[in-house]
Amino acid sequence: MSHATETPADAPAILSEVRPALKPRAPMVGHGRSFSWITEKICGIAEEKTPVWWWWCFTAACIVASFTVAGLIYLVSTGVGVWGHRNPVNWAWDIVNFVFWIGIGHAGTLISAILCLLRQKWRTSINRSAEAMTIFAVICAGIFPVFHLGRVWYSWFLFPLPNSNIIWQNYRSPLEWDVFAVSTYGTVSVLFWYVGMIPDLATMRDRFASVGKTIRARVYGIFAMGWRGSGRHWSNYEMAYLILAGISTPLVLSVHTIVSFDFAVSLLPGWHTTIFPPYFVAGAIFSGFGMVLTLVLPLRAVYKLEDLVTQYHIDCMCKITLATGTMVGYAYLMEFFIAWYGANPNESFTFINRAFGPYWWAYFIMVTCNVITPQFFWFKGVRRNTALVFVLSLFVNVGMWFERFVIIATSLARDFLPSSWGYYSPSVVEIFTFFGTFGVFSVLFLLFVRFLPIMAVAELKAVTPQADPHSDVDAGAHGAARTGEHN
Amino acid sequence: MAEKPYGLIATFETPGALMRAAEQVRDAGYRRWDCITPFPIHGLDKAMGVGRSRVPRISLLGGITGFCTGMSMIWFMDSYDYGLTVGGKPLFSPLYAFPVSYELTILFTAFATIGGMFFLNGLPMHYHPVLNYDKIRRGTDDLFFIVIERVDPRFSDDNTRALLAKAGGADITEIEA
C-alpha cells in the first residue's frame, strides 16, 4: 500500500523526462470527412436505385451459379462417380475446393477478430465486406464435402443425432472434428457479422423512416432490434464485441488447424507432417487477403470509396499478403528440407515427385503465384498501382487453389505401392461445379452490396479524429505543447 | 400515463461536449439517464459512471457449459450409450474429445455473449419513448443526446433543465412517454 501511495509523487519527475515519440499516422478517413458524410456515403449505396451494372453482374453471377446447381443435381441423380475420383485419388477437386474456400474465409475473421484485438484501426473500412466474404466462402466450402458423401440426404449422419443405426459418430476422426469446426465457424461468423451490423441497421432504419419509406424502415428495424445508440447499451455492446473477437481468434486458428488434421493425421507421405497446422493457417490468411483485395478494389473504384479505403489500407493489406505469402514460401522450403533431413525414402520421393513428377505443372503454378507474386508488394510503386494490385491478387487466388491441389492430388496419385499409382484428371461435371461456386459467391456478395451497409459506419465514425472526445479541448493546449517540445 | 412526459432530452454537437456534459450529469447524482450516440465514444462509460459490463460473466458461463457439453456428450455416446472400440484404444479419453469440446466452448460462448448482450440491454425493444423525439433519428447519424428520465429521484423540471443548459445542451425538449 505504501508503495502505491509513493509512486504518484515520484512519477511526475520521471515522466517529465520521458517524451513519447511522435509518429505521424496516416488518417483512416481521407479528406477529414464528417460523420454525416460517412453515413450518407455508405447507406447511400444500399439506398440508391439499383444501378444497371448491378443487374448485369447479378445476371451473369446467376448464370455462373446455375453450373453448380446443375452439377449437383446431376451428381445426386446419378452418383458421386460423375466426379473424376478414382483409386488411388479418392479425394480430389472436392476437397481442394473445400479447403480453398474455407481458407478464403479466414482473412475475414482475421480482419474482424485478430486485427480488432491488435487495435488495428484500419480494419474498420474493410471488416464488414471481409466478414461477408467469410460467410459466403464458408457456404461455398460446405457444398463440396457434403456432396462428396455421395448420398447427400444422409448428411445429417455427420451430426450426433439419434438414428436408426444406433451407433454414434467416430469422435477420434479429424473428419468429425471438421464437422464441428466448420459448423461452429460458420455460425460464429454469422453472429459476429450480424452483431457488428446492428448499429448500422439502426442507422438505415432511421434514414428510411425519415424519408417516409415505412416498409423498408420496418424491415431494417426488425433486424436492428430497436437499437437506439444508448450509452449504456454501447458499453455492453463493445464488451460483447471484444469477447466475440477474443473467441473468434482461437476459433479461426483452430478451424484451419483441424482442416489440416484431415491430412496430417493420416499416414500418407506428404500429408503426415507436423508443419501442416501453421502452414495451413498462413496459407489461409494469404489466400483470404488475396480475395479481400480482389473484392474491395473493384468496390472502391465503383463506389468511389477512396476516402474510406485509402492508400494506407491497400498498403496494409498488401503487406499482410506479402508477409503470409513469404511464410507460405518458407513452409514449402521447410517441407523439402524435412523430407531430405528426415531420411525417409517415401517422404523424399513424394516431394521430388511433387516438383518434378507428373504434376510438375501444378507445382510450378503454385510456386510462381504464391512465392513470387507477393514479393512485388515490397515496392511502393506496385502497391500504389491499384490495377496491378488487383491483378496480383488474382494470381494469389489461383496459386492457393493450386497449393491445395498439389498437396492432395500428388500425394494420393503416388502413394506407397507403384502398382496402385494413378493419374487424376477432373471430369467436366467437377470443373463446372467448381466454376459455378464463383457464381454462388458473387450472387451472395452482390446481394450484400445491394441491401446491407458494406462498411461498418459506426466503427468508421469512431476512428475519425473528431470522434476523440478530447480532440476539441486538448488539440490546442496539449497537442501544440507536445509537438513543440519534441526533439 | 400519456400525460406524464418521459423526461428531458438535450442535443450536443460533438463527442467532447457530450462527454463533459455527461460528467456533470453524473456528478449531479442522477441515475436514470442515458446518452444517445451514433458510435461508441471511448471513455463515455466512465464519464457516465457506468461500471464494467457484466457480459463477460455470461460468456464465461456459456463457455463452461459448452466445454462440459462436449466432454459429457462424447463420454455418453462413446463410453456409456454405445461403446465402439476404435483402433483398440480406450472407450473414452479427454484428449480425443478435446477438439470437439473446444469448438463447442467457442460456439456456446458466442451465443451466451450475444444473448447476454441483448438481455442486459433489454433488446429487442422496438418501442422506446426516446424514439418519439423527432430529432432522434440523427442520433444514429451525427448528433449526440443526453436523456434524463422523469422517474429519477433528483429530477425536477427546472433544475434538470438548468443542469442540461449549463452543461451546454441545446434544444432541451420534453419527450412524451
Instruction: Locate the domains of chain B by residue range.
Output: 5-51+126-176, 55-121
- Least Cα distance to B81 among A5, A300, A171 occurs for A171
pLDDT of residue A136: 93
- What is this structure's pTM? 0.86
pLDDT of residue B124: 84
pLDDT of residue A318: 92
Does residue A475 belong to the interface with chain B, where contact is any CB pair within 8 Å?
A: no
Contact criterion met (CB < 8 Å) for A231 and B74:
no
Nearest 5 degrees, angle CA A92-CA A96-CA A102? 150
Closest Cβ–Cβ partner in A170, A171, A227 for B123: A227
Contact criterion met (CB < 8 Å) for A231 and B45:
yes
Residue in chain A closest to B74 (alpha carbons) equals A171
Contact criterion met (CB < 8 Å) for A230 and B36:
yes
pLDDT of residue A472: 62
With beta carbons under 8 A apart, name residues in chain B contacting A174: 99
Which grid coordinates are listed for A229?
445508440
Q: How far is B3 from chain A (nearest CA, A)?
A: 23
Residue in chain B closest to A220 (alpha carbons) equals B126
Cβ–Cβ under 8 Å, residues B171 and B133: no
ipTM (interface pTM): 0.90
pLDDT of residue B126: 80
Cβ–Cβ under 8 Å, residues A469 and B19: yes
Contact criterion met (CB < 8 Å) for B121 and A233:
yes
Contact criterion met (CB < 8 Å) for B39 and A232:
no
Q: How far is CA B129 from CA A291, A476, B126, B147, B148, in A?
A: 45, 39, 10, 10, 12
Closest Cβ–Cβ partner in A206, A227, A472 for B14: A472
Element (H, E) at A444: helix A428-451
Cβ contacts below 8 Å, chain A against chain B, sum to: 218
Does residue A237 belong to the interface with chain B, where contact is any CB pair within 8 Å?
A: yes
Contact criterion met (CB < 8 Å) for A236 and B77:
no
pLDDT of residue A481: 36
Contact criterion met (CB < 8 Å) for A184 and B103:
yes
Does residue A78 belong to the interface with chain B, where contact is any CB pair within 8 Å?
A: no
Q: How far apart are CA A72 and CA A87, in angstroms?
A: 22
pLDDT of residue A8: 53
Angle of the A93-109 helix axis to the A127-148 helix axis, nearest 10 = 160
Average per-residue pLDDT for chain A: 85
pLDDT of residue A4: 45
Contact criterion met (CB < 8 Å) for B81 and A168:
yes
Which amino acid does the sequence have at A124? T
Q: Which residue has the cell 467469410?
A: A134
Contact criterion met (CB < 8 Å) for B114 and A244:
yes
Q: How far is A248 from chain B (nearest CA, A)?
A: 8
Look at phi and psi of residue A46 and say left if phi exceeds 0, alpha if psi is from -120 to 50, else beta. alpha
> What domains can you pick out in chain A, each with its CATH number?
38-161+173-462 (1.20.1630.10)
Contact criterion met (CB < 8 Å) for A236 and B120:
yes
Contact criterion met (CB < 8 Å) for B56 and A243:
yes
Q: How far apart are CA B119 and CA B112, in angstroms?
A: 10
> Residue B108: which residues within 8 A CB-CB, separation 6 or more?
B62, B63, B65, B66, B69
With beta carbons under 8 A apart, name residues in chain B contacting A459: 39
The sign of the torsion formed by the CA atoms of A438, A441, A444, A449 equals negative
With beta carbons under 8 A apart, name residues in chain B contacting A468: 15-16, 42
Q: Residues of chain A whose pLDDT is less than 50?
A: 1-7, 473-487
Q: Residues of chain B whose pLDDT is less than 70?
A: 1-3
Q: How far is CA A15 from CA A5, A20, A22, A425, in A?
A: 17, 10, 16, 68
pLDDT of residue B47: 83
**What 3-state class would DSSP assign to A276?**
helix
With beta carbons under 8 A apart, name residues in chain A contacting B92: none
Q: How far is CA B63 from CA B92, B109, B114, in A?
A: 22, 5, 13
With beta carbons under 8 A apart, name residues in chain B contacting A176: 100
Closest Cβ–Cβ partner in A229, A254, A466 for B37: A229
- Least Cα distance to B63 among B101, B98, B97, B96 occurs for B101
Contact criterion met (CB < 8 Å) for A184 and B34:
no
Contact criterion met (CB < 8 Å) for A469 and B117:
no
Cβ–Cβ under 8 Å, residues A145 and A92: no
pLDDT of residue A65: 94
Q: Hey, of A41, A109, A172, A258, which one would you mutate to test binding to chain B, going by the most B CBs within 10 A of its CB?
A: A172
Evaluate the omega torsion of the peptide bond into residue A88 and state whether it is cis, within 30 degrees of 0: yes
Evaluate the omega torsion of the peptide bond into residue B124 and state whether it is cis, within 30 degrees of 0: yes
pLDDT of residue A9: 53
With beta carbons under 8 A apart, name residues in chain A contacting B48: 231-232
Tell me the H-state helices in A304-427. 311-341, 345-356, 360-367, 380-383, 386-405, 411-413
Residue in chain A closest to B93 (alpha carbons) equals A172
Cβ–Cβ under 8 Å, residues A311 and A381: no
With beta carbons under 8 A apart, name residues in chain B contacting A239: 52-53, 55-56, 117
